[in-house]
Amino acid sequence: MQAMIRLIDKRKPSLMRKIIVAVGLLALVASPLQASSDTKYKNISRQLVVKANVALRALEIDEARLLFERALVAYPANTNALLGLGRTHEAKGQVGRGLKYYRQALEIEPNDMGALEVQALAFLKREMLDRADANRAKLVRLCPNGCTALENVETALEAYLAEDKIAANAAIVMPTEAKENP
């Protein structure tokens, strides 16, 4: 390829300029076409996500999963489709797979409050308190006046800690009771 460019460049410098101008013009023309194509596929992806969410609410988990996957084929950066796939896996008890999709969504949009929320709740299901609390801290920074995502995560953390305290208290009480009733 480089040898060809050198040959064209040595023999006909004006031909090289014409080729460069032609490529540049093609790029200018293709750019709006690409943009309209991107918009088309984003819209298709959004429509599929809406249908998938309806299926998920109706507990048609497999149908929802297929629609979310199709939405990602249409537009791979659709974070709502990634979050939906995560929720479908959680609905099937596959929390680890759900976390994978939440992580992917946060790689695309690190400040997505919905993604931070569902990821924090999934972390609690996996007993990963430190990670859930890190998401809570990020939500505090993102919505200092409070928001639904933050409230949901804080409520879940409080419930998790309350259950943990009950379990801890039960472990402390049990040995004492055993000693009193030998």
Band the pLDDT of 162: cuts 50, 70, 90.
Answer: confident
Q: How far apart are alpha carbons 87 and 115 in whole angstroms?
A: 11
Asked if residue 86 lies in contact with residue 98, where contact means CB atoms within 8 angstroms, the answer is: yes
The predicted pLDDT at position 165 comes to 65
| pLDDT per residue as tens digits for the range 22-79 | 554 455 444 444 445 689 999 999 999 999 999 999 999 999 999 999 999 999 999 9
Q: How far apart are alpha carbons 50 and 139 in whole angstroms?
A: 25
The predicted pLDDT at position 167 comes to 64
Set out the domains of the chain in order of their start, with CATH numbers: 40-172 (1.25.40.10)
More confident residue, 126 or 26: 126
The predicted pLDDT at position 98 comes to 96
**Joined tokens for residue 93:** 């008890």
Q: How far apart are alpha carbons 122 and 93 in whole angstroms?
A: 11
Q: 3-state DSSP helix/strand/coil percent for the chain, to nearest 5?
A: 85, 0, 15
Torsion of CA 169, 172, 176, 181, to 10 degrees: 70
Q: Which residue has the tokens 């979310």?
A: 68
Q: φ and ψ at 92, to 5 degrees?
A: -95, 5
pLDDT above 80 for 19: no
Q: How far apart are alpha carbons 122 and 119 in whole angstroms?
A: 5
- pLDDT cut 70: percent of the chain above it: 70
Q: How far apart are alpha carbons 102 and 85 in whole angstroms?
A: 9
The predicted pLDDT at position 163 comes to 84
| pLDDT per residue as tens digits for the range 29-42 | 444 444 456 899 99
Q: How far apart are alpha carbons 159 and 6 in whole angstroms?
A: 71
- pLDDT cut 90: percent of the chain above it: 65
